[in-house]
Structure 1
Amino acid sequence: MKNIIKYISEKIAEKIISYHSVTGGDISSAFLLKSEKRNYFLKVNSKPFAYRMFQAEQVGLEAIEKTNTIAVPHIYLVDSFQDKSFLLMDFVESKRPDSSDFSLFGAQLAKMHQHSQSEFGFYKDNFIGSLPQSNTFHDNWAEFYWFERILPQLQLAKEKKLLSASEIPNENRAISLFQNSFGDVKPSLLHGDLWGGNYLIASNGTPFLIDPATCFGHSMVDIAMSKLFGGFSQSFYDAYHAIIPKPDNYSQQIELYQLYYLLVHLNLFGSGYYSSVSHILKRYF
């Protein structure tokens, strides 16, 4: 690490006074760096895809930052050195959120979701966890969700022998189901991987988004992911839905969008997620 720290110090033209490892890097190693000017958060990864992953993270955070709706850490450097890739960003001193923090978070996320464009997708492919995520543009949301989200994960699960061929839904039936369930969707800028580990509440109460898997899609995707592992505070959802109302088939949309993330977890972590995936596949397909 000393060589990387020295390299970073030269690149940012600041002396690094100290550094130590911290939690916060699920896929990468994480470090807190202290310079004479500020504290930095550093992620380091030696995987072959790491540089592309960090570049995609930078692009996603910058897209969110441009909306001026919710805070993200500023990124100072994405680079590689001695077979290791790294990302250097602001270190956010965080606290345990209270109800009012969650209300602000929900309202700001809804305002971010109001930022739109004409097509579904994103100009750059990215990652969901360590898995590649295609963002090829589509005019139709149901087709985007099938071809760029569900189908690639189903195919990977089949290759890994985590799902059988008979469990793969029929394409036309799936797209028709998505069209009927999701209806007329307006593209919203999404975080894309909004679980409890991918936001922070700063010590002053400011919500921050981190580790995005950004694209333009249905706003309910972020809400569904936020509920997958226990959900956020009710005040978050109350504030969010005061701006973007719940759809009539709220529960069905939640399950169909959680299917993507459950498939991702099945492919990343194995058969422990099979029963949850199988339940949704049997129920809807």
Structure 2
Amino acid sequence: MAIPISILSDIESRLNTVVKKVSVVSGGDINQAYLLQTTVGNLFIKINDRHNYPNMFSKERQGLDAIREANAIAVPEVVLQGEFGNDSYLILEWINIGSANMLASSKLGMGLARMHKNTNARFGFYTDNYMGSLIQTNNWYTKWSDFFIEQRLQPMVKMATDKNELTRNDVHQFDRLYKKLPGLFTEEPPALLHGDLWGGNYLIDTDGKPYLIDPAVSYGNREFDIAMTTLFGGFDPAFYEAYNSEFPLQADWQQRLKLWNLYPLLVHVNLFGASYAKQVRENLSIFI
């Protein structure tokens, strides 16, 4: 699908540039994504329907800003974020993609660890945002267990139940988990989380510099980010070694990976259907 001429004209006017060429690139399931070759250089733009996904890009910008301000790991610079007609768009600097070799993976792990050292008095975030195309609420809590239950698991369980993707027995099993959850881990200070850290949400440029993209930020338990890196793969062992060298995880962190991954799996149930429900039940059974 081509970018509407009206949007291109709006961008050229606001950036005082000329778009010389537009090329389709990968941008996920929600957005249309393009490379813009302009008189001020290459830019990345993604576009979606502002009525279907209200404020999605402003929320993403807030997340990118929070990570940038942590001064621990790079994110693409936001060039312009705006709306025109029925569309919303976000323009970022263009990153030339390189190789995710061992050295780059180590830099990624160390950068994430340093980002996680940025803390807050409470768990949550200053605004709600998105996890994929779903609204993610971030009300403030003093305990991670309460936040994880009430702001992460319960909304997704209810949505999946309303869609008949989960059963009443599944709800009962989650209720059992909620009672046990505070005893399953040791509380740590809130850490600034990326929040959606699967293998498609980081980039390595041609100089080996890592960037985080597409955040769903909050302040939470840092094991949550680490857990999600294991859900679909894409992270070198050097990533985990560097992370633990910079900011060691608790000795038994591996035992809780499937616990924290209940949330992204529930998101997938709600986005893609019951094929993920089996994995939710398998993970849940470990902890109840």
What TM-score, normalized to structure 2?
A: 0.95
- Number of positions where the alignment pairs a residue of Structure 1 with one of Structure 2: 285
* 1:52-201 aligned within 5 A: 52-169=55-172, 173-201=176-204
| Mapped contact 1:181–1:249 kept (Cα < 8 A) | no
Shift of 1:177: 2.4
| SS of structure 2 residue aligned to 1:87 | strand
- Between stretches 65-74 and 18-27, larger displacement belongs to 18-27
| Mapped contact 1:117–1:216 kept (Cα < 8 A) | yes
Shift of 1:253: 1.5
CA distance in 2: counterparts of 1:122 and 1:253, whole angstroms: 23
Which residue in 2 is equivalent to 1:258?
261
- Between stretches 106-115 and 271-280, larger displacement belongs to 271-280
CA distance in 2: counterparts of 1:172 and 1:260, whole angstroms: 15
CA deviation digits over 1:95-125, x for unaligned, max 9?
Answer: 1210000001100100000000100000010
Structure 1, unaligned runs of 5 or more: none
CA distance in 2: counterparts of 1:196 and 1:169, whole angstroms: 32
CA distance in 1: counterparts of 2:172 and 2:265, whole angstroms: 15
CA distance in 1: counterparts of 2:126 and 2:44, whole angstroms: 27
Which residue in 1 is equivalent to 2:19?
16
CA deviation digits over 1:148-198, x for unaligned, max 9?
Answer: 001100001100101111211467743442211221221000000000110
Structure 2, unaligned runs of 5 or more: none
CA distance in 1: counterparts of 2:150 and 2:234, whole angstroms: 27
CA distance in 1: counterparts of 2:141 and 2:151, whole angstroms: 9
Which residue in 2 is equivalent to 1:279?
282
- Between stretches 257-266 and 75-84, larger displacement belongs to 75-84
Letter in 2 for 1:8: I
CA deviation digits over 1:219-248, x for unaligned, max 9?
Answer: 111100000012410000000011222323
Percent of pairs with identical residues: 38
CA deviation digits over 1:202-221, x for unaligned, max 9?
Answer: 11111000000000001111
Letter in 2 for 1:65: R
CA distance in 2: counterparts of 1:234 and 1:48, whole angstroms: 41
CA distance in 2: counterparts of 1:169 and 1:71, whole angstroms: 42
| Mapped contact 2:22–2:34 kept (Cα < 8 A) | yes
Which residue in 1 is equivalent to 2:212?
209
- Between stretches 89-98 and 107-116, larger displacement belongs to 89-98
Change (3 A) 1:225 1:215: same
Change (3 A) 1:218 1:149: same
